[in-house]
Structure formats: structure tokens, C-alpha cells
Structure 1
Amino acid sequence: MNVDTILQTKGTAVYTLGESHTLADAVALLNTHNVGAVVVVSSSGTVLGIVSERDIVRQLGKASPGTALTIPLGTVMTRDIIVARRTTSIAEVMEGMTRSRIRHMPVVESDRLAGIISIGDVVKLKIEEVEHEAEAMREYIAS
């Protein structure tokens, strides 16, 4: 199983903002679409970073309450991001997410954003995989 398996099921929609947008813009986008991260891209579509709910909470804790939401994403986004390719195995994704303590991984192909996967997507896939194996085992035993 690889990342493409997840993208085929969930789709390739990714919510993005530019680095000059503010934390308030990111909060609005996350709330509107009920997602946990927004990918920050350049005007040409190159991935520059990512801002997660966790990043927003940390900034709210650091900045004064009156100015926190006006901070540009370019100053608070995680720049050193881990990305996957469509061909990346799910095992590699799980290892990367665990090692880096992240819950969202942009998918990049030819330096262009091709989707995003979350830990929830990975868990759902693994549960489905175990259920299929259990069903196959039940059928084998019954026959």
C-alpha cells in the first residue's frame, strides 16, 4: 500500500494560503473546511510550509491576545516539512509521522502539491486492511 491508495479514496483537495495571509485567515479556513492543517504555497504553487492547529495554538500562547491573529503565516509556518510522494509506502509515512511527531503530510509530485494525508487517513486505511485480513481468515477457516 502506498500514498496513492489513500488519495484515490479521499481525493486530492488541499486547502492552501499564501505566506502573507494571517493566522486569522488560517483559522477561518480550518474551521470552514473542518481540517487540521493548511499548506502554505507561493504564487507559483510551490510548497513553502504548513500551518497546523498545533502551530496556531503555540502562537496564541506566545503572542499577545490582541495581535496573535494578525501574524503572517510566513513567520509562523513550519518550513522544514516532510512530504510524501504518491509512491511512498504507508509504512514510510507512519514512520515519518511518528518520528517527526506530525499529523499531516503534504503529497508532492514534480515539485507541485498533489494532495495531503493525515494520520486519520493512515489509521482508516490500516483498519480497513485488518478488517479485510480478518474476513479472509474467516472465509478460509469456514471453507
Structure 2
Amino acid sequence: MIIAQILKSKGRGVMTAAPADTLQEITLRLASRKIGAIVILENGNVAGIISERDIIRLIAEHGPKALDMQAKDGMTRNVISCTRDCTLDEVMETMTKGRFRHVPVMEDGALVGIISIGDVVKHHISEVELEVTAMRDYLATG
């Protein structure tokens, strides 16, 4: 399965923020949408990403005043992305090696979606279930 198929079923909407937005503003968006990361855009380009883990780390380091910090001061800048043509296995490997749970999907330099570990697991389970069903059918008709 390729990432384009996952985006087709889940949609291509991506929550974004600006580098000057505060972590307080970002946490409110994350909570209201029940999502775990937000992509930071600057002049239409991906400048970074902030996840729940990043916010927890910043609060641990700076205390409550971390919520007044701007996104640009706490975001992950070296964002690893994928394309719609990447396979599910490739993205799973990237997430596992990098120890992160969100991967923006880029096409021709533009942000076209985001894939979470939840999306990856859901679609991987679907693939495995299809294989099991096919094997059962094959064995039953033997």
C-alpha cells in the first residue's frame, strides 16, 4: 500500500501554525482537534513540526513559562517527510528509526497531508487481515 491510498481514505487536511504562534495557542489547537502534532509553516514552506512530546519536553525544561514561547523556539526543524508514492513499510521504518509518530507528506515542495503512527498501524492491520482472509479462502477451497 502506498501513502496516497491512506490519504485518500483519511483526507489531506493538515493542522498548521506559524512560527510566531505560542505553545499555548498550539496546545489549544492540538487539544481541540485531538491530534498529536502540528506542522509549522513559514511563507508556505514547512519550517518545522511540534508534537505533544516536544511540548512536554519544553515544559519540563522551562516550566509553565514554556507555554509563552513561540513555536519557532521549540519546534523540530529537521522535518523528515515522505511522498504519496512511499510505501507503508517505508514510512513505518522511517518512524521506527527516527522515533517519531508524525510524518508530513510532501509533493513538489508542497505539504499535501500528514501520516500518523495511528494511520500506519490501522492500514497495516487492514493489510494483514486481507492476507489472512485470502489464506483462509485458499485453504478452504484447497
Query: Is TM-score (shorter-chain normalized) higher than 0.5?
Result: yes
Q: Cα RMSD between the aligned structures?
A: 0.8
| Deviation of the 1:110 alpha carbon | 1.2
Match of 1:64, SS state, is helix
Residue 71 (structure 1) aligns with: 69
- Percent identity reads 45
Query: Where in structure 2 are there 5+ consecutive unaligned residues?
Result: none
Q: SS of 1:63's equivalent?
A: helix
- Out of 102, 105, 112, the position equivalent to 1:104 is 102
SS at match of 2:79: coil
Aligned length, in residue pairs = 141
- TM-score under structure 2 normalisation? 0.97
| 1:14 alignment counterpart | 14
Q: Of the candidates 75, 78, 81, which is equivalent to residue 79 of structure 2? A: 81
Give the secondary structure class of the aligned counterpart of 2:63.
coil
Residues in 2 aligned to 1:111 and 1:20: alpha-carbon distance in whole angstroms: 22
In structure 2, how many angstroms separate the alpha carbons of the residues matched to 1:55 and 1:108?
22
TM-score normalised by the chain length of structure 1:
0.96
Once the two structures are TM-superposed, the CA of residue 64 in structure 1 deviates from its matched residue by 3.0
- Alignment of structure 1 residues 1-143 onto 2, 5 Å: 1-42=1-42, 44-65=43-64, 67-143=65-141
- Measured in 2, the distance between the counterparts of 1:79 and 1:71 equals 16
- How far does the alpha carbon of each residue in 1:70-120 deviate from its partner, in whole angstroms, 9 at most, with x for none? 100001000001000001111111111011100000001111110000111
